[in-house]
Amino acid sequence: MKQKEIQQFKNKPSEELSKNLSDYREKLRKLNFDLAAGKVKNISEIKETKKTIARILTIMNSSAID
């Protein structure tokens, strides 16, 4: 994920971040099911999705402290 994309997450309101978080969690769930079924060819997509979820949670927690 590029620095520009991370900055876009920081500028979003918390409601939109929550929606993005649930979307990425759903995407990760689908990827895990597809991995178990042998349909996933790009395993690095799972890793990147996990990192994006962690980044969103970090931004949400840091904005809650401020």
Secondary structure in 3-state letters for 34-55: HHHHCCCCCCHHHHHHHHHHHH
Establish if 46 belongs to a structural domain. yes
Give yes or no for a contact between 40 and 31, defined as CB atoms under 8 angstroms apart: yes
**Inside any domain, residue 28:** no
pLDDT at 35: 93
Number of structural domains found in the chain: 1
Burial class (CB in 10 A: 0-12, 13-18, 19+), 50: middle
Whether residue 8 is contained in a domain is answered as: no
In a domain, 25, yes or no: no
Query: Considering the domain boundaries, does residue 49 fall inside one?
Result: yes
The span from the CA of 15 to the CA of 36, in Å, is 32
Cβ contact 60:17 at 8 Å:
yes
Judge whether 64 lies within some domain.
yes
Residue 55: give the domain boundaries: 42-66
**Segment 11-52, tens digit of pLDDT:** 999 999 999 999 999 999 999 999 999 998 899 999 999 999
